[in-house]
């Protein structure tokens, strides 16, 4: 974490706060993944977790000053979308038995 | 303090707030459809703000283009994913909130039980033309 090695600046404090907030968000969304009464609930929460992973990647890219990580964000956003659509097709195929 | 860093930090904090709100919405809303509303819109905006912060911090054209590509992709795919998932949830008869009064799709699709044999209980895609559109 290159950003945190120097003296504290506004950007480093903001990055740290954002990391904590996104981590809390992932935990809260995982609560819905575990608890969600139906399968679509879980898929919605998983989609949000994928979006939060993209956020984590961009924040870590800022914190470590490594912009190469944004390439991983592209791939991750693509995979999150594809998995959501695949899950939706599966739920539709499964019909009323989904739970 | 550097103005670029200040703007990026503000963008990061606002994005973190939106992301947190969307996660809380996913847990607190009573319904799949409302949870989808929270996750899709607020989550996309929060992630987009963080990507914008990254593009401002690095100040490089390649990085800016890359982060805007990610944001544009999220902007394109989030509504599509939410729509497909919402339709699947409607087909799967996921219960709505008991205080949701309006269901404009009711009766417009054949029931799941009417699917042709061998269709694995998949609902027919055609709309029901007997009911006039409003």
pLDDT tens, residue by residue, B13-65: 999 999 999 999 999 999 899 999 999 999 999 999 999 999 999 988 999 99
Chain A positions in Cβ-Cβ contact with residue B91 (cut-off 8 Å): 91-92, 95
Whether the CB-CB separation of B89 and B97 falls below 8 Å is answered with no
pLDDT tens over chain A, length 99 residues = 567 777 888 899 999 999 999 999 999 999 999 997 889 999 999 999 999 999 999 999 999 999 899 999 999 999 999 999 999 988 887 765 544
Distance from CA of B132 to the nearest CA of A (A): 26
Q: Residue B123 has what DSSP assignment?
A: P
Task: Measure A68 CA to nearest chain B CA, in Å.
Answer: 8
The nearest CA of chain A is from the CA of B12 a distance in Å of: 6
Q: Which chain A residue's Cα is nearest to B78?
A: A81
A37-64 residues labelled b (16+ CB within 10 A) or e (exposed): ebbbbbbbbbbbbbbbbbbbbbbbbbbe
pLDDT of residue A38: 87
Residues of B in contact with A78 (CB under 8 A): 73
**For testing the chain A interface, which of B54, B73, B124 should be mutated: the one with the most A CBs within 10 Å?**
B54
State phi, psi for A36 to the nearest 5 degrees. -40, 125
Could you read off the pLDDT of B95-112 as tens digits, one per residue?
A: 888 888 787 777 666 555
Chain A CA closest to residue B63: A67
Cβ-defined contact of A55 to B54 (cutoff 8 Å): no
Q: Which domain holds residue A21?
A: 2-97
Would you place residue B82 in the very low, low, confident or very high pLDDT band (cuts 50, 70, 90)?
Answer: very high
Give the count of domains, chain A.
1
pLDDT, greater one: B18 or B119: B18
Higher-pLDDT residue of B120, A67: A67
- Residue from B13, B19, B120 to probe the interface with A (highest A Cβ count within 10 Å): B19
**Minimal Cβ distance to A52: which of B19, B92, B115:** B19
pLDDT score, position A31? 93
* Two tokens, residue A25: 């968000």
Neighbours of B106 (CB within 10 A): 9
Domain spans, chain B: 3-94
């Amino acid at each position: 974490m290159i950003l945190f090695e120097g003296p504290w600046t506004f950007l480093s404090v903001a990055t740290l706060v954002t990391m904590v907030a996104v981590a809390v968000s992932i935990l809260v969304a995982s609560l819905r993944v575990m608890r969600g009464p139906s399968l679509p609930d879980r898929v919605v929460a998983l989609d949000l977790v994928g979006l939060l992973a993209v956020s984590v990647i961009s924040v870590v890219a800022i914190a470590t000053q490594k912009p190469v990580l944004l390439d991983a964000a592209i791939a991750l956003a693509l995979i999150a979308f594809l998995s959501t659509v695949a899950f939706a097709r599966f739920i539709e195929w499964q019909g009323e038995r989904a739970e | 303090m550097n103005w670029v860093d200040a703007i990026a930090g503000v963008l990061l904090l606002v994005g973190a707030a939106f992301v947190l709100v969307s996660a809380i919405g996913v847990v607190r809303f009573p319904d799949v459809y409302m949870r989808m509303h929270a996750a899709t819109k607020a989550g996309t905006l929060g992630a987009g703000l963080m990507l914008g912060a990254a593009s401002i911090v690095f100040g490089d054209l390649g990085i800016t283009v890359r982060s805007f590509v990610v944001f544009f992709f999220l902007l394109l795919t989030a509504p599509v994913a939410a729509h497909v998932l919402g339709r699947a949830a409607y087909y799967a008869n996921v219960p709505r909130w008991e205080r949701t009064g309006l269901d404009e799709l009711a009766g417009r699709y054949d029931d799941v039980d009417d699917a042709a044999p061998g269709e694995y209980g998949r609902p027919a895609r055609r709309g029901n033309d007997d009911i006039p559109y409003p």
